[in-house]
Structure 1
Amino acid sequence: MGLVKIRDGMALATVLIFVGTACGPGVAPGDGSVPVQGGTLKVIGSGDVDHLDPSSSYTTVAYTLNRTWTRQLVTYPASNDFNKAITIVPDVAEALPQISADGRTYTFKIRDGVRWNTTPARQVTAADFVRGLKRLANPVQPSGGISYYTGTIEGMQEFFTAFQKAPKTAAGIAQFMAHNQIKGVRAVDPKTLEIRLTTKASDFLNIMALPFASPAPVEYEKYVPDGPEFRQNTISLGPYQITTYQAGRAILLNRSPAWKQDADPVRRQYVERIQIMLGQESADVVQQQLEAGTADLSWDQPVPTSAIQRMNGDPEFHVFEGSSLNPFLVFNLQSPNNNRALANVKVRQAINFAINKVAIAQIYGGPMLNTVLDGAIPQGSSGFDIDVKPYTTPGHVGDPGKCRTMLAEAGVSGLTFQFPYRTTGNHPKVAQAIAADLTKCGIATTLIATSPDDFYGRYLSSVAKSREGKWDIGGPSWLPDWYGNNGRSIVVPLFYGANYAEGSTNYGAYNNPAVNATIAKALTAASASAAEASWKQVNAMIMADAPIVPLISQNVPTFRSSRVQNALYSPLSQQFDYTQLWLG
């Protein structure tokens, strides 16, 4: 998927263009401040990671944690320059890979001195990366990002399919991996990894930079992936190691003695330890502790909307612009309700004119914290086109009169939509605002309150419920897994119709063969620039079909205690990089 439900809808990592410079006192490394060694970075928040195992972890808090103790062949540097922060650089690999003339074979050389914190410390090898890629397909907890790898690496789909039949025990998993290979992946020697793709993929290095593609030491074969035993026996490659993990309560990391600065070009090891305390459900209380200096960073709680106005101008407060569909309105094209009205493109186009997007933005804190959207691809992601705005209205406040006229021209009246919504956060207010806009167009709604899990599992992602008409419209959210050449992370999961199935994030079952073909062209483009041109075509084609109403992209307010120095922002995790910080 791209960021599926787990990353969707939370105040998560979608950052694009930085508003302002992102530099307050002591923030930029070139500001003359001197790094300070030692101390405890205190992080507080609410919920645990979804998965501690990097093969399956898929939330931004997990990504933030992964940065401290896992490493990948390639990664992104920490930088407050957005363009630099989304540029792939070598990590465990000595350099960016050699790519064959046909664009399908990637050869990585492993950097000397990158060591597991085993006793004694041990050099990471190409075989560890092979094992890591195999574990993505395990039958107990397969990676939520598995489609990125099955869709690009030769033989990965066949390996995944076969692995699902293996025993769901540590021994069964280890035995399957020992006797089965991914056709396109091989350790040429301890320092050389070769990966063969099914076809060209200009975004393959972005995929390999995801935490999913972390190597796995042989010791992990003793545990069920992400099981309780695994969570107590993690092995680190990064500057920090997890020394205490208490589910839902606390995570403590200390410096790893196996890590060496000269073997890691992108991380540092300034603070002595990182203390993460969980269970704090109130964003206001978290904010109070940050301002008081009794905590340094929020783990997962956003800056409260009520605090935004008074925080503006504070050197420890900053807003980073987002690149997301968060939220958007999706139509169930399969619904039999209203004589299958939503299968009619003219009805969907009419509704696109109806919604007051500024009102939705206001619910989430106004224009400082939100950007109104016109296209299916948000600004800052590959394929964004400022000229794709077929349904824009003056001031983005909607035009119910035009909506009514278009519905009449389509010969449609008396519509009533089943409208499930999540009861958490701002979702009830969003649902009420959209329902009010539809009422002005003569469309009635039946609002259905749901939990977040039911919203997806019993409604939007359920093939049977969708086809039965249990829902007509819904307001999900979507955030990409990476930035730059990221059409695969936005367009494919939301709009590629050929793969529609149970659990799909193409919630409305949108399927246009011409769009699918253009998506395929973008995915196999020889370069990011060539892919960009195809993604722009896709953007325009999708909006002509109007399977969604794009609403807003949420920006990301951040706040840190005055102790935190060298605060470098990570677009991938929507948090400051813990490995760069020191305490003043």
Structure 2
Amino acid sequence: MARDVIRVAAGLAGLAVGLTACGGGETASGADGPPRDGGTLRVVGSSDVEHLDTASVASVGAYGLARIYARTLFGTRASNDFNETVPVRADVAVRLPTRENGDIGKDGRTYTVRLRKGVLWNTRPVRAVTAPDFVRGFERLCNPASPSPAKGYYTSTIEGMDAFCRGFGGVDAKDPGAIAEYQQKRDIEGIHAKDDETLVFRLKRPASDFLNLLSLPFTAAAPQEYERYVPDGRDFRQHTISDGPYQISEYRPGMSYLLTRNPAWRQDTDPLRERHVEKIRITLGQDSPETVQGQIEQGSADLAWDQPVPTQAIPRLRDDPRFAIRDAPSNSPYLVFNTRSPNNGGALGKREVRQALEYAIDRSALVKIVGGPSVARPLHTVIPPGSAGYAPSDRYATPGASGDPAKCRELLGKAGRPGLTLRFPYRTNSVHRLIAQSIQQNLAACGVRTELTADTGGSFYSSTLVTPAQAGEGRWDIAAPGWTPDWYGNNGRSVIQPLFDGRAYGPNSTNYGGYNNSQVNDLIDAALTADDASRAAGFWQRADQKIMEDAAIVPLLDRAHTIFRSSRVRGARFVPTAAGYDYTRLWLADD
């Protein structure tokens, strides 16, 4: 449906990605033959998702999982051609709103979205997915139990959403009845279900990226049954409902998922997904990338869940058609400072201390750890290449991007803060332990001691970094999360706003370090109200420069994703925002 494609603004549509992408693993259906139905896709990895509720998903793994059981009004198509994954396309919506078809008002603030018929929930009996289900999905973004880390996208864009969210904050987070009552008795001024098949959105001001926002998993439809449970709570996680090709039939927290075919799903109602395998089994708890890789090569597993290909395996796999390096421009990882930590006399709250630490890191060593220059390159800006507002810059330049410990020591001395001791939790999957150890060595060279702590079981994102109380108590000082933009193309706000808008700091915020600068907040507002994408990009670039001047983070790598599939996987197509293949599009060859 080529007419259901919206192209990004001029200058972004043909964005190029700078890393070298391998052609291995390119598996279009023409090369693999016709799809074959049946079999069980076996996925193996380390950690559970931090949030299963689509309202509060926050990781690439959760994005990939949500894609197969929860549908949004719009979406993107999986492809091994990066540029094919950028355009917004219709999903549950019948078509893309445009001024020409009358679905976008003359003032650019009113959007009418019409739903396609035949999209069904797997309830008993089955029933249609309706416009009120999408309204409920938006209302749940602000719930007090597990608020969406992306709610700022919507409170700053949709009329009345900010007021709705502020009121929701006073509701008992442990009482599903009180949460449901608030949603039922209050409306978001700018979201209206005209009838079961028509949604009307009213924006505060024109937003050139509004359809991108409606393609994100946070905005998935939510069935009325979800009001029975605390959002993302233990009971909720055992009672997910599907309107996608697959349904979660069995969930063992931290251990495994079993997804089976959703009998209510119909191919003719879904332009973005397919359904070929009979079952999808995701097995967790395997922290070793080498072990996961071995299982896939030996044929006892098909795909890795959250592990890239081990660095040492890349040279021997370069000519293997099952191996690929896929474009996924990102700031991954980056070093974030907890500006609210009381440790070391609140040293990390001081800009000159953070600026000194900017000089400590040897990015060239990190490039080697993740697989070399074909996989990653040093990054010195908040915004990665391939994103609106990116401009090459290196405010804290060091020879060969290898760090300057002498400069770090000198500046720490001038700031009166030598001999820091920093608490440093790290993820246990993939190469994150090696990255943490490398950073630890870099900091030691400039006289800073770090206390490394393995953050296991998915708690790194689900509790450690997103809980303001832990930051305020100094449970951590530095950490190395990663950030893949929520979308590509006209995506300026998908980096700066979620990571650095101080007004959105709170539970589940992805502004992990609690950074807050009124000048940056004003630049965010200026970008959001700009009358065209190129002018907005200028404001995003200025915000990037100010954040780097404040040394809120240390950007480390712009990193592609290395991925490997078993010999029986066919039709594998990549989803950059999920850092993985689309499980709904692939199929399995005969064993």
Shorter-chain TM range is 0.7 to 0.9
- Rounded to whole Å, the distance in 1 between the matches of 2:124 and 2:508 is 43
Moved more, 464-473 or 221-230: 464-473
Structure 2 SS opposite 1:41: strand
8 Å contact kept, 1:319–1:369: yes
- Aligned residue runs from structure 1 range 233-244, under 5 A: 233-244=239-250
1:484 corresponds to: 489
1:191 corresponds to: 197
- Aligned residue runs from structure 1 range 134-533, under 5 A: 134-166=139-171, 168-331=174-337, 348-349=354-355, 351-386=357-392, 388-400=393-405, 411-412=414-415, 415-422=418-425, 424-425=427-428, 429-430=434-435, 433-434=438-439, 436-437=441-442, 443-452=446-455, 475-500=480-505, 505-506=510-511, 510-533=515-538
- Rounded to whole Å, the distance in 2 between the matches of 1:171 and 1:543 is 45
2:5 corresponds to: none
Moved more, 284-293 or 476-485: 476-485
* Matching of residue 94 in structure 1 with residue 94 in structure 2: yes
TM-score of the pair, normalised by structure 2:
0.84
- Rounded to whole Å, the distance in 1 between the matches of 2:187 and 2:463 is 37
1:77 corresponds to: 77
8 Å contact kept, 1:16–1:323: no
Q: Gaps (5+ residues) in structure 2?
A: 1-14, 98-102
Give the aligned residue type for 2:90.
Answer: P
1:550 aligns with one of 545, 555, 559? 555
- Rounded to whole Å, the distance in 1 between the matches of 2:223 and 2:461 is 35
**Offset of 1:317 from its aligned partner?**
0.8
8 Å contact kept, 1:51–1:58: yes
2:100 corresponds to: none
1:40 corresponds to: 40
2:128 corresponds to: 123
Structure 1 SS opposite 2:367: helix
Q: Cα deviation per residue 1:517-556 (whole Å; 9 max; x = unaligned)?
A: 2221112233433322221222233334433332223332
1:538 corresponds to: 543
1:7 corresponds to: none
8 Å contact kept, 1:461–1:505: yes
1:60 corresponds to: 60
- Rounded to whole Å, the distance in 2 between the matches of 1:341 and 1:220 is 44
**Offset of 1:562 from its aligned partner?**
1.1
Q: Cα deviation per residue 1:436-477 (whole Å; 9 max; x = unaligned)?
A: 54565xx42132233538988999778788789887655444
8 Å contact kept, 1:419–1:474: no
**Offset of 1:567 from its aligned partner?**
0.6
- Rounded to whole Å, the distance in 2 between the matches of 1:330 and 1:581 is 37
- Rounded to whole Å, the distance in 1 between the matches of 2:348 and 2:249 is 53
Cα–Cα, structure 1 residues 514 and 327, in superposed 2: closer, same or farther, change >3 Å? same
- Rounded to whole Å, the distance in 1 between the matches of 2:585 and 2:54 is 21
Give the aligned residue type for 2:455.
Answer: P
Cα–Cα, structure 1 residues 270 and 498, in superposed 2: closer, same or farther, change >3 Å? closer
8 Å contact kept, 2:329–2:386: yes
Q: Cα deviation per residue 1:114-145 (whole Å; 9 max; x = unaligned)?
A: 22233443222111111221222333333333
- Rounded to whole Å, the distance in 1 between the matches of 2:25 and 2:80 is 14
- Rounded to whole Å, the distance in 1 between the matches of 2:325 and 2:278 is 28
Cα–Cα, structure 1 residues 445 and 164, in superposed 2: closer, same or farther, change >3 Å? same
**Offset of 1:32 from its aligned partner?**
6.5
Cα–Cα, structure 1 residues 530 and 224, in superposed 2: closer, same or farther, change >3 Å? same
Moved more, 398-407 or 32-41: 398-407
8 Å contact kept, 1:27–1:566: yes
Structure 2 SS opposite 1:578: coil
1:10 corresponds to: none
Cα–Cα, structure 1 residues 519 and 227, in superposed 2: closer, same or farther, change >3 Å? closer
8 Å contact kept, 1:421–1:427: no
Give the aligned residue type for 1:235.
Answer: I
Structure 2 SS opposite 1:78: coil
Cα–Cα, structure 1 residues 135 and 114, in superposed 2: closer, same or farther, change >3 Å? same
- Rounded to whole Å, the distance in 2 between the matches of 1:199 and 1:329 is 34
8 Å contact kept, 1:18–1:319: no
Q: Gaps (5+ residues) in structure 1?
A: 1-14
8 Å contact kept, 1:19–1:320: no
Structure 1 SS opposite 2:420: strand
**Offset of 1:213 from its aligned partner?**
0.7
8 Å contact kept, 1:202–1:525: no
- Rounded to whole Å, the distance in 2 between the matches of 1:413 and 1:189 is 64
- Rounded to whole Å, the distance in 2 between the matches of 1:171 and 1:464 is 26
- Rounded to whole Å, the distance in 2 between the matches of 1:455 and 1:68 is 25
Q: Cα deviation per residue 1:5-40 (whole Å; 9 max; x = unaligned)?
A: xxxxxxxxxx99485566546702343622222222
Cα–Cα, structure 1 residues 509 and 26, in superposed 2: closer, same or farther, change >3 Å? closer
8 Å contact kept, 1:373–1:552: yes
Structure 2 SS opposite 1:549: strand
8 Å contact kept, 1:341–1:412: no
**Offset of 1:405 from its aligned partner?**
6.8
**Offset of 1:266 from its aligned partner?**
0.8
1:567 aligns with one of 555, 563, 572? 572
Moved more, 533-542 or 204-213: 533-542
* Matching of residue 107 in structure 1 with residue 136 in structure 2: no
Moved more, 61-70 or 506-515: 506-515
Moved more, 188-197 or 295-304: 295-304
| Structure 1 outlier segments of 4+, above 6 Å | 334-344, 404-408, 453-472
Please report the RMSD computed on the Cα atoms of aligned residues, expressed in angstroms: 3.4
Cα–Cα, structure 1 residues 235 and 283, in superposed 2: closer, same or farther, change >3 Å? same
8 Å contact kept, 1:417–1:472: no
Q: Cα deviation per residue 1:37-88 (whole Å; 9 max; x = unaligned)?
A: 2222222233333333322333322222222121100001111121220211
- Rounded to whole Å, the distance in 1 between the matches of 2:463 and 2:583 is 38
8 Å contact kept, 1:26–1:565: no
Moved more, 189-198 or 449-458: 449-458
**Offset of 1:109 from its aligned partner?**
0.5
Give the aligned residue type for 1:236.
Answer: S
